[in-house]
């Protein structure tokens, strides 16, 4: 593996919470169609505190939510309402415009139980020809996710195709996302299992690749034809994601993604003018922050 990058989580403030941002960073904007990877937690919220992100907009992308602990209630401007629990996949495609909220569900608020949050918030860029598609929401419960158990590891295919499995979530361009936990110290061969650019996030434990140790909170970026195998320590959990790179360059402005800078500026002005679609009976509003185009 002559061509690799090792990335550390960088702390980012998203309002009431700090997250560990893995992607994008200055040397790599995307891995396949994936452009944002934010790691939430693990964190135990103080009594009376909840995970609440008010109404905010997106264009040009799909958001993928994957939780390891805790619950989030998703609501959006196309009428979707869904509680996401550990092991579930929520996949909201913004297309031309959508708004949504993410909150601690009412039942959990009223239970008095300690709230622990741990999971990943991910953005997947839409191909140029689908940037203006109608928004939609897909949800797959944990028992719908295809899995495989060997003597060496347990595996869940969260999206795309790989390891002889096909996930119900396929997205809008060739991609994959896999959750693997090592049952014992083992070598994991990746050649011929996945197709496209590839990155590995260490959720827990550590792995070795070509003499380098990648630990919890770090990400290894490579390519499948160069990354033949990694060495996993017992009980190490990793997320593997990637796919075919998009043909067109894209730009980011806050929660907006597009191949056209003018679309980003228009989305900015529309959000400031409150012209985006709204969630019914929700008047919350996250103001546009001062920031530059990326």
266 compared with 41, residue with greater pLDDT = 266
What's residue 165's pLDDT?
98
For residue 156, the Cα-to-chain-centroid distance in whole angstroms is 15
pLDDT at residue 214, rounded to an integer: 84
Q: What percent of the chain has pLDDT over 90?
A: 67
Query: How do residues 33-81 score in pLDDT, each as one tens digit?
Result: 999 888 888 888 888 889 999 999 999 999 999 999 999 999 999 999 9
In angstroms, rounded to a whole number, what is the distance separating the alpha carbons of residues 161 and 33?
A: 15
Smallest Cα–Cα separation from 241: which of 206, 208, 203, 194?
194
pLDDT of 286 higher than 50: yes
Same fold, 8-141 and 145-245: yes
pLDDT, tens only, 119-133 = 999 999 999 999 999
Residue extents of the structural domains in the chain: 8-141, 145-245
Fold of 145-245: Jelly Rolls (2.60.120)
The answer to whether 177 and 240 are in contact (CB under 8 A) is: yes
Q: What is the pLDDT of residues 4-37, one digit of tens each?
A: 444 555 544 434 333 345 666 666 678 899 998 8
pLDDT in tens, 207-225: 888 778 888 888 888 755 4
Q: In the prediction, which pLDDT does 9 show?
A: 56
Could you confirm whether domain 8-141 is CATH 2.60.120.10?
Answer: yes
């Amino acid at each position: 593996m002559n061509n690799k990058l090792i990335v550390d989580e960088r702390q980012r403030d998203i309002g009431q919470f700090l997250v560990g941002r893995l992607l994008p960073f200055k040397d790599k904007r995307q891995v396949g169609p994936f452009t944002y990877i934010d790691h939430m937690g693990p964190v135990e919220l103080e009594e009376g505190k909840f995970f609440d992100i008010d109404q905010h907009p997106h264009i040009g992308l799909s958001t993928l939510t994957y939780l390891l602990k805790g619950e989030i209630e998703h609501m959006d401007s196309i009428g979707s309402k869904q509680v996401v629990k550990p092991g579930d996949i929520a996949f909201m495609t913004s297309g031309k415009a959508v708004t949504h909220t993410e909150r601690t569900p009412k039942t959990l608020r009223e239970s008095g139980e300690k709230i622990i949050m741990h999971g990943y918030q991910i953005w997947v860029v839409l191909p140029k020809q689908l940037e203006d598609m109608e928004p939609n929401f897909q949800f797959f419960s944990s028992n719908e996710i295809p899995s495989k158990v060997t003597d060496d590891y347990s595996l869940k295919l969260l999206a795309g195709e790989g390891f002889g499995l096909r996930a119900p979530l396929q997205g809008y361009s060739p991609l994959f996302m896999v959750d693997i936990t090592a049952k014992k110290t083992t070598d994991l061969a990746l050649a011929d299992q996945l197709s496209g650019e590839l990155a590995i996030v260490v959720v827990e434990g550590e792995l070795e690749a070509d003499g380098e140790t990648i630990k919890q909170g770090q990400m290894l970026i490579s390519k499948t034809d160069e990354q033949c195998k990694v060495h996993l320590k017992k009980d190490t959990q990793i997320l593997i994601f990637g796919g075919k790179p998009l043909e067109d360059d894209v730009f980011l402005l806050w929660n907006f993604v597009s191949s056209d800078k003018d679309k980003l500026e228009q989305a900015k002005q529309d959000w400031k003018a409150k012209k985006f679609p709204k969630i019914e009976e929700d008047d919350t509003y996250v103001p546009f922050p001062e920031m530059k185009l990326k």
